[in-house]
Amino acid sequence: GWPFVTALICLDADVAPTWAKARGLPPQSLLELTREPAVRSELEALVASINGRLSRAEQIKRFEVVTEAWGPATGELTPTLKLKRRVILKQYAERIATFYENA
């Protein structure tokens, strides 16, 4: 197992542009939105809020926003939109490993 909880966060391709527009951000691709400081701030606040309801062992210590949209067509989700953990672990192995460097 891993020494602490981490997360890969995928923006919702349908919701993210609407969220950005509501906050006065210019129209951007999903890739550009993943690099937007306002998006990062919002996600940090969301993770902090979630962590506030969890025990220390369950809290997300590090996270990264993936630049790709996930879905059944790309292989990360089942047709019922459940995560395919093995696929994600294999596809993002290097990125996941960076969470635990110097840990």
* 51: its two tokens: 């962590």
In the chain, what are the domain boundaries? 5-99
Residue 10 and residue 25: Cα distance in Å, rounded? 19
pLDDT beyond 90 at 1: no
* pLDDT, tens digit (0-9, with 9 covering 90-100), for 8-35: 999 999 999 999 999 999 999 999 999 9
Alpha helices in the chain (DSSP H): 16-22, 30-34, 37-51, 85-91, 93-99
Residue 93 and residue 19: Cα distance in Å, rounded? 30
For residue 91, the model assigns a pLDDT of 96
* pLDDT, tens digit (0-9, with 9 covering 90-100), for 32-90: 999 999 999 999 999 999 999 999 999 999 999 999 999 999 999 999 999 999 999 99
pLDDT beyond 90 at 102: no
For residue 66, the model assigns a pLDDT of 95
